[in-house]
């Protein structure tokens, strides 16, 4: 299972939010590149960059930081936040992203998401499947649909989607444990490379996610707050 470190960027800084609420932002560093280099030096190989400005502005915003990190480290980066147009996705890849995740477009303009999947390949496009109480949420988690997370993933999997970051919006930033029961349910019926996100607080949580069969896990606040030490992840990376 891949260990993926989260790097959320807002106003050019490394921050974390609680449940996607911008008013709860906590700044951990003024220098995202410095954080990325520290992660790499401690054995981290995969990085998930979330462009929080982009998610709010509905267009990619922090691509210069993505470019700086991708050119200064060997980290394999997946990038998401504000990817709404062909220009956005092109900029993300040209700035060094190995994979790009898209969520809102998959909900609102599925034909466009499928165009990207066909154009760039299912190894490079990640379906961002964010949910709250099993219902899909989009638009920086401001809109809730009636579609169930399992049926949403199943439908896209049948169309060729290979990877999905699956985030429980109610658990994100809470460090109260991941939605392992839902991940178990998804992987019991959907053949997809599932990347768990939200709620991770301990090595025990990481092991539970691994046992559920997830392909990857994204860890954020637990590292920044010191709940999990980078040295403890070395044997897992």
- The residues that are catalytic are 8, 130
Q: Residue 18: how many CB atoms within 10 A of its CB? A: 15
Instruction: Write out the two tokens for 19.
Output: 């449940």
Given a contact cutoff of 8 angstroms between Cβ atoms, the answer to whether 61 and 92 are in contact is no
Phi, psi for residue 7 in degrees, rounded to 5: -130, 100
Tokens 């896209």 correspond to 156
CA distance 234 to 7: 18
Q: Sign (positive/negative) of CA torsion 92, 98, 101, 106? A: positive
């Amino acid at each position: 299972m891949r260990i993926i470190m989260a790097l959320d960027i807002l106003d050019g800084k490394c921050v974390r939010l609680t449940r996607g609420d911008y008013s709860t932002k906590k700044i951990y560093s003024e220098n995202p590149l410095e954080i990325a280099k520290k992660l790499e030096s401690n054995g981290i190989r995969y990085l998930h960059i979330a462009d929080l400005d982009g998610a709010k502005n509905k267009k990619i915003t922090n691509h210069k930081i993505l470019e700086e990190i991708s050119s200064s480290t060997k980290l394999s980066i997946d990038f998401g936040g504000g990817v709404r147009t062909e220009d956005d996705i092109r900029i993300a890849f040209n700035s060094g992203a190995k994979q790009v995740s898209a969520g809102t477009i998959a909900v609102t303009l599925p034909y466009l998401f499928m165009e990207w999947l066909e154009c760039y390949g299912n190894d490079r496009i990640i379906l961002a499947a964010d949910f709250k109480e099993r219902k899909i949420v989009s638009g920086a988690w401001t809109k809730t649909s009636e579609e169930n997370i399992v049926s949403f993933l199943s439908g896209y999997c049948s169309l060729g989607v290979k990877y999905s970051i699956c985030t429980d919006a109610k658990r994100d930033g809470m460090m109260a444990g991941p939605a392992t029961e839902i991940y178990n349910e998804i992987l019991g019926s959907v053949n997809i490379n599932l990347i768990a996100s939200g709620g991770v607080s301990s090595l025990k949580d990481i092991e539970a996610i691994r046992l559920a069969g997830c392909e990857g896990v994204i860890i954020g606040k637990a590292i920044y707050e010191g709940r999990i030490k980078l040295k403890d992840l070395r044997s897992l990376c």
